[in-house]
Amino acid sequence: MLPIPDLMEARNVLVVAPHPDDAEIAAGGTIALLAEKGAKITYAMVTDGSRGGLQPGISEAQMASIRRAEQEQAGKVLGVADIVWLGFQDTEVPQAEIVREPLISLIREIQPDFVITLDPWLPYEAHPDHRRTSMAAVEACLFAGLPMIQPEDLEHGLAPWQVTGIALALSAKPNTFIGIDSSWDKKVQALRCHKSQFPDPVWNMFYPMILAKSEEYGRRANAKTGEAFKVLTTTHLHVMPDTWQA
């Protein structure tokens, strides 16, 4: 009774990610495909990425600068139009009710039809930034259309806005599989922009795993490589006990 919206019909997409590189890992191929089809892609990067480095002796400020540059380079590869940095401290993202506030305002400002984020209900996810960022994103989608939530936004010309769909990447219960054969090279190129995260020894270990998972998803999309999402509407996100089966 609640149809799943078509992610590939999106024309204005907000991607909410906890750290630089997360969007490319989770959805880089799909983001590139959407951009190629003319969709406007905006990133909301929740943290500064300042504690994600593998090299000792680099300050947090230096690492944040490095990762910002890497993310901007990766975004250009995929066709991202804009990157908004929310600036929360890496590894210390606060609870969702705090993070969702700027996200609600951002949704009302750019009026996306789709929001892509990570699945906050992924089992065994130990990183609090991932859990809190993605939960804040789905809460923001749920509340952005309600005029009594953050009514001060109206004073800044930001009217309530209802997104059409939410695509949860890295989900244990995906319902949508996108073939990314034509954008696979862009996804890999964008990932390789994150040199601070993937020096050659790490990349040589990581790449076979992401390729194998992409091939698994690709088989579900009748392609060699693919990405998977749990695509929902905001209606699915409140008092719907069967959403896990959607």
Within a domain: residue 64? yes
* pLDDT score for 55: 81
Check whether 86 has a pLDDT greater than 90.
Answer: yes
Check whether 210 has a pLDDT greater than 90.
Answer: yes
Within a domain: residue 243? no
CATH number of the domain within which 45 lies? 3.40.50.10320
User: What domain range is 56 assigned to?
Assistant: 7-234
Whole-number percent of the chain with pLDDT over 90: 96
pLDDT tens readout for residues 37-74: 999 999 999 999 999 988 888 999 999 999 999 999 99
Dihedral (CA of 124, 127, 25, 237) sign: positive
* pLDDT score for 54: 81
Within a domain: residue 44? yes
The total number of structural domains in the chain stands at: 1
In the predicted model, what is the mean pLDDT of residues 199-223? Answer: 97
> pLDDT band at 1, cuts 50/70/90?
confident
Which positions ≥6 away from 182 have C-beta within 8 Å?
A: 33, 36
Pairing mode, strands 165-169 and 114-118 = parallel
Within a domain: residue 210? yes
- Other residues' Cβ atoms within 10 Å of the Cβ of residue 206: 14
- pTM score of the predicted model: 0.97
pLDDT tens readout for residues 143-182: 999 999 999 999 999 999 999 999 999 999 999 999 999 9
How much is the mean pLDDT over the chain?
97
Pairing mode, strands 176-179 and 226-232 = antiparallel
Within a domain: residue 207? yes
Within a domain: residue 221? yes
Within a domain: residue 148? yes
Within a domain: residue 30? yes
